[in-house]
C-alpha cells in the first residue's frame, strides 16, 4: 500500500457528523413537516446561492479531513515498509505544488521578486543590494517587467475557459437530469431555467456555481506559476495557508455545536418538562457556567491544557496530533460556554409545550414521560435547535480568530485565519506594508461568514413558525 490512513480525533467526529447529517436527511425526506421548511430554503435565491458557496468551502474542508501517511520511497535495510512521519491530507496532496514551492521570506501577490532587499552576488563578483528573484513565483519569465502582465492575463484566460467548460458540462448534466425527472424536453427545461421560472431557482444556483468554478480554475491556473496571494515571513504560500484554514474554521463552527447539542437538548427539555428540583438543579448548573465570562473560562481551560501538554509532551505522537487534540478541546470548551443559551431556550419552550393540549392528551392516554418527550416535545423544538445551530456557526468562526489572537485558540502550528491575522498584524508597521496575509484571511473569512449569515437568515425564516404566513 502506498499510504496508511490516519484518523485524527476531529476527523472521526467529522465523519460522525456526516453520518448524522445523512441520517437526518433521509429521515427528513420522509417527513413532510421537515421537508417543507427545507423546500422553502432551497426555493429562496439567497438560500441556493449561499448553499453553493458553503458547499465549496465544505468540499475543501472535507478534502482536508482525509488524512494519511505516505510510504517512503526506499525501504530500510530490513526491507520493512516505512511510512513518512508527516501526516498529509488529500488537500495537501492536491496542493502539493503550493506547499512545496517555498520562498525565502515575504513576497507580494504575483510578485517575481522578494519583498525585501538582499545582498546579491553579481556574476562579475560585485555585491549589490537589490530585490532578488523568487525561486518559484514567476520563475519561468525571462523578463518579468515585460512579460508578467501578459502571462497573467493569458493564464487567467486559460483558467476561465477551463472553468467554463466544466461548468457547462455540469449545467448540461443538471438540465438533463431535471428533464428526465419531470419528463420534459431538454430545451424546455433549459429555457425555463434561463428565464428563472423554476421553483428551485436553478438559474441562481448555476450562476453561483459558475462563478465559484471560474474563480477556482483561474486561481488554480495562476497558482501553478505565481504566489497568487503572496508568501509569508518564512516564504510559505498564503493561498495554501488560507485554504488549509478552511478546515479549522468549519470544524470550530460545526463540532462545537455538535458537542454541546446532546447536553443542551437533554437538559433543557428535562428542566422544562419535569420542573421541580430537576429544573432547579439544571438552572443552577447553567447559571453558574454562564456567570463565568466565556473568554476567561476558555483562557483558563486552554492555559491548563497547555500546562498539561507541556508537562506530558511525550504522550503525543506528533505535532499534528497534538494540535488536533487542542482543537478538539477548544471545541469542547467553546461548547461548554455556548450550550447554556440553547438550553435556556429549550427549557422555556418545553415549559410551554408541556401545558399544550396534545401533551395533556397524551398524559390522559397514559403515555410515559420519556415517550412524550421523544414523540411530542423533541420534534416540536427541533426547529429551534436547527436555527441555533446555523446562527451559532458564523459567530464561532469569528470567535476562533479572536481566541487565536489572544493565544488561547488553536495551536500556533495549526493553519487558521486567527493565526494568520495574528502573525501578520505585527507586520503592518513595515514599510511598504505587508497586507496580503490579512487580506487573504479577511477574504476567506468574510465570504464564509457572510454566506453563513445569509443562509442562517433563510433557514430561520423557513423554520420559525412565528415568521411564517406574514
Partner 1 sequence: MTEPLLHVTGLTTELGDPTRPARVVDGLTLDIRPGETFALLGESGCGKSMTALSLMRLLPPSGRITAGSVQLGGTELLSLTEAEMRQVRGGRMAMIFQEPQTSLNPVLTVGTQIGEAVRLHQGETRQRLGAERAVELLRAVGIPDPEQRLNEYPHQLSGGMKQRVMIAMALAGDPRLLIADEPTTALDVTIQAQVLRLLKAVQSANGLAVLLITHDLGVVAETAERLAVMYAGQIVETAPVAEFFAQPLHPYSRHLLESLPDAGKRGRRLAVIPGRVPPLDTPFQGCRFVERCPAAIKRCRLEAPEWRAFSDERGVRCHLAELDAAGVSSRPVSDRTDSPTPEPLSPTSDPNSPPSDTPTETAQVPLLTMRGLQVHFPIHQGVLRRVVGHVRAVDGISLDLYAGRTLALVGESGCGKTTAGKGLLQLVPPTGGSVRYRGQELIGLSHRRLRPFRKDLQIVFQDPFASMNPRMLVGDILGEGLQALRLAPKRAERMRRVAELLELVGLDPESADRYPHEFSGGQRQRLCIARALAVEPRILVCDEPTSALDVSVQAQILNLLKDLQERLGLAYLFITHDLSVVSYLAHEVAVMYLGRVVEHGRVADVLDDPRHPYTRALLSAVPVVDPEQRRQIIRLEGDMPSPRHPPSGCHFHPRCPEAIEVCRHHYPVETRLGSTRRVCCHCVDVGVATQTNGDSKIRS
Partner 2 sequence: MTAYIVRRLLYAIPILIGVNLLTFMLFFVVNSPDDMARMHLGQKRVTEEAIQSWKAERGYDRPLLYNAEADGLASLTDTILFQKSVKLFVFQFGSSDDGRDIGYDISQRMWPSLAIAVPVLLIGLAFNISYALFIVFFRATYVDIGSVVLLVAMMSISGLFYIIGGQFLIGKLWHLAPISGYDQGLNAWKFLILPVIVGVVAGIGSGTRWYRTLFLEEIGRDYVRTARAKGLSERVVLFRHVLRNALIPILTGVVVVLPLLFMGSLITESFFGIPGLGSYTIDAISNQDFAIVRAMVFLGAVLYILGLILTDISYTLVDPRVRLQ
Please, which residue, 134 or 345, has the CB nearer to partner 2?
Answer: 345
Please, which residue, 196 or 293, has the CB nearer to partner 1?
Answer: 196
| Residue 344 binds: one of partner 1, partner 2, none (C-beta under 5 to 8 A by kind) | none
Residues of this chain that interact with partner 2 (CB under 8 A) are 284, 287-288, 290-293, 295-297, 299-301, 303-304, 306-308, 310-311, 313, 394, 398, 401-402, 405-408, 417, 421, 425, 428, 438, 442, 445-446, 449-450, 452-454, 457, 470
Q: How far apart are CA 179 and CA 189, in angstroms?
A: 6
| Residue 363 binds: one of partner 2, partner 1, none (C-beta under 5 to 8 A by kind) | partner 1
Q: Cis before residue 432, ω within 30 degrees of 0?
A: yes
Interface with partner 1, residue 362, by CB under 8 A: yes
Interface with partner 1, residue 32, by CB under 8 A: yes
Could you give phi then psi for residue 164, rounded to 5 degrees?
-65, -40
| Residue 445 binds: one of partner 1, partner 2, none (C-beta under 5 to 8 A by kind) | partner 2
Binding residue for partner 1, selected from 70, 94, 367, 439, defined by CB under 8 A: 367
3-state secondary structure of 415: coil
Binding residue for partner 1, selected from 19, 33, 292, 450, defined by CB under 8 A: 33
Binding residue for partner 1, selected from 127, 142, 313, 365, defined by CB under 8 A: 365
Residue pair 441/390 in contact by the 8 Å Cβ criterion: no
Give me the DSSP letters along 167-194.
HHHHHHHHHHHHHHHHT--HHHHHHHHH
Please, which residue, 158 or 362, has the CB nearer to partner 1?
Answer: 362
Please, which residue, 145 or 355, has the CB nearer to partner 1?
Answer: 355
Interface with partner 1, residue 197, by CB under 8 A: no
The alpha carbon dihedral of 399, 403, 408, 412 has a sign of: positive
Interface with partner 1, residue 376, by CB under 8 A: yes
C-alpha cell at 229: 496571494
DSSP conformation class of 95: T
Cβ at position 195, least distance to partner 1 in Å: 15
Give the number of residues in contact with partner 1, rule: CB under 8 A.
22
Interface with partner 1, residue 225, by CB under 8 A: no
Binding residue for partner 1, selected from 7, 72, 157, 361, defined by CB under 8 A: 361
- H-assigned helices in 275-375: 276-291, 294-311, 319-354, 357-364, 369-372
Residue pair 231/241 in contact by the 8 Å Cβ criterion: no
| Residue 85 binds: one of partner 2, partner 1, none (C-beta under 5 to 8 A by kind) | none
The alpha carbon dihedral of 309, 310, 316, 319 has a sign of: positive
Please, which residue, 308 or 358, has the CB nearer to partner 2?
Answer: 308
| Residue 405 binds: one of partner 2, partner 1, none (C-beta under 5 to 8 A by kind) | partner 2
| Residue 364 binds: one of partner 1, partner 2, none (C-beta under 5 to 8 A by kind) | partner 1
Q: How far apart are CA 157 and CA 171, in angstroms?
A: 20
Going by C-alpha positions, the residue among 258, 249, 265, 232 that lies closest to residue 18 is: 258
Per-residue binding string, partner 1, 378-397, x by CB under 8 A, is: -xx-----------------
Cβ at position 46, least distance to partner 2 in Å: 10
| Residue 425 binds: one of partner 1, partner 2, none (C-beta under 5 to 8 A by kind) | partner 2
| Residue 357 binds: one of partner 1, partner 2, none (C-beta under 5 to 8 A by kind) | partner 1
Interface with partner 1, residue 357, by CB under 8 A: yes
Please, which residue, 196 or 379, has the CB nearer to partner 1?
Answer: 379
CA atoms within a 13 Å half-sphere pointing along the CA-CB vector of 105: 11
Please, which residue, 386 or 401, has the CB nearer to partner 2?
Answer: 401
Q: How far apart are CA 16 and CA 446, in angstroms?
A: 27
3-state secondary structure of 251: helix
Going by C-alpha positions, the residue among 421, 378, 382, 383 that lies closest to residue 402 is: 421
Please, which residue, 178 or 271, has the CB nearer to partner 2?
Answer: 271
Where does residue 75 rank: exposed (0-12), middle (13-18), buried (19+ CB within 10 A)?
A: exposed
CA atoms within a 13 Å half-sphere pointing along the CA-CB vector of 415: 21
Within 404-446, strands assigned E span none
Contact window for partner 1 (CB under 8 A) among 172-180, 284-292, 375-383, 450-458: 375-383
Please, which residue, 217 or 286, has the CB nearer to partner 2?
Answer: 286
| Residue 365 binds: one of partner 1, partner 2, none (C-beta under 5 to 8 A by kind) | partner 1
CA atoms within a 13 Å half-sphere pointing along the CA-CB vector of 10: 30
Interface with partner 1, residue 363, by CB under 8 A: yes
Cβ at position 133, least distance to partner 2 in Å: 30
Q: How far apart are CA 133 and CA 44, in angstroms?
A: 50
Q: Give residue 285's region: left, alpha or beta (phi > 0; psi -120 to 50).
A: alpha
Question: Torsion angle of alpha carbons 283, 287, 288, 291, nearest 10°?
Answer: 180
Interface with partner 1, residue 366, by CB under 8 A: yes
Contact residues: partner 1, CB under 8 A = 31-33, 356-358, 360-369, 371, 375-376, 379-380, 470
Amino acid at each position: 500500500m502506498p499510504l496508511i490512513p490516519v484518523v485524527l480525533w476531529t476527523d472521526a467526529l467529522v465523519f460522525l457528523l456526516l453520518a448524522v447529517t445523512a441520517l437526518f436527511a433521509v429521515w427528513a425526506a420522509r417527513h413532510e413537516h421537515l421537508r417543507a421548511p427545507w423546500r422553502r430554503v432551497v426555493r429562496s435565491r439567497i438560500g441556493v446561492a449561499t448553499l453553493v458557496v458553503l458547499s465549496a468551502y465544505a468540499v475543501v474542508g472535507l478534502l482536508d479531513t482525509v488524512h494519511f501517511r505516505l510510504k517512503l520511497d526506499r525501504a530500510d535495510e530490513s526491507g520493512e515498509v516505512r511510512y513518512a512521519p508527516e501526516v498529509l491530507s488529500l488537500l495537501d496532496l492536491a496542493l502539493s505544488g503550493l506547499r512545496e514551492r517555498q520562498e525565502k521570506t515575504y513576497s507580494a501577490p504575483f510578485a517575481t521578486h522578494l519583498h525585501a532587499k538582499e545582498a546579491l552576488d553579481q556574476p562579475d563578483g560585485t555585491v549589490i543590494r537589490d530585490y532578488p528573484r523568487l525561486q518559484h513565483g514567476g520563475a519561468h519569465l525571462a523578463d518579468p517587467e515585460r512579460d508578467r502582465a501578459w502571462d497573467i492575463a493569458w493564464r487567467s484566460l486559460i483558467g476561465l475557459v477551463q472553468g467554463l467548460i466544466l461548468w457547462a458540462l455540469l449545467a448540461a448534466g443538471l438540465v438533463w437530469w431535471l428533464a428526465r425527472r419531470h419528463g420534459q424536453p431538454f430545451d424546455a427545461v433549459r429555457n425555463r431555467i434561463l428565464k428563472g421560472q423554476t421553483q428551485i431557482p436553478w438559474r441562481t444556483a448555476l450562476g453561483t456555481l459558475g462563478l465559484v468554478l471560474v474563480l477556482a480554475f483561474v486561481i488554480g491556473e495562476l497558482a501553478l506559476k505565481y504566489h497568487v496571494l503572496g508568501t509569508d515571513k518564512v516564504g510559505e504560500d498564503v493561498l495554501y495557508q488560507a485554504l488549509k484554514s478552511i478546515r479549522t474554521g468549519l470544524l470550530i463552527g460545526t463540532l462545537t455545536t455538535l458537542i454541546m447539542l446532546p447536553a443542551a437538548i437533554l437538559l433543557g427539555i428535562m428542566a422544562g418538562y419535569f420542573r421541580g428540583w430537576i429544573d432547579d438543579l439544571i438552572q443552577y448548573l447553567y447559571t453558574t457556567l454562564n456567570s463565568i465570562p466565556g473568554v476567561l473560562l476558555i483562557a483558563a481551560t486552554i492555559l491548563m491544557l497547555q500546562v498539561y501538554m507541556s508537562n506530558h509532551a511525550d504522550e503525543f505522537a506528533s505535532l499534528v496530533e497534538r494540535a488536533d487534540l487542542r482543537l478538539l478541546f477548544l471545541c469542547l470548551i467553546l461548547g461548554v460556554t455556548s450550550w447554556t443559551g440553547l438550553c435556556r431556550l429549550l427549557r422555556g419552550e418545553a415549559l410551554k409545550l408541556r401545558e399544550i393540549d396534545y401533551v395533556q392528551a397524551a398524559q390522559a392516554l397514559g403515555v410515559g414521560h420519556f415517550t412524550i418527550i421523544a414523540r411530542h416535545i423533541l420534534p416540536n423544538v427541533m426547529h429551534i435547535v436547527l436555527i441555533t445551530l446555523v446562527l451559532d456557526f458564523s459567530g464561532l468562526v469569528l470567535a476562533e480568530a479572536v481566541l487565536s489572537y489572544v493565544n488561547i485558540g488553536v495551536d500556533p502550528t495549526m493553519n487558521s485565519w486567527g493565526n494568520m491575522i495574528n502573525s501578520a498584524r505585527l507586520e503592518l508597521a513595515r514599510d511598504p506594508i505587508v497586507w496580503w496575509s490579512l487580506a487573504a484571511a479577511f477574504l476567506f473569512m468574510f465570504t464564509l461568514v457572510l454566506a453563513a449569515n445569509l443562509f442562517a437568515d433563510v433557514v430561520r425564516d423557513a423554520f420559525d413558525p412565528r415568521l411564517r404566513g406574514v
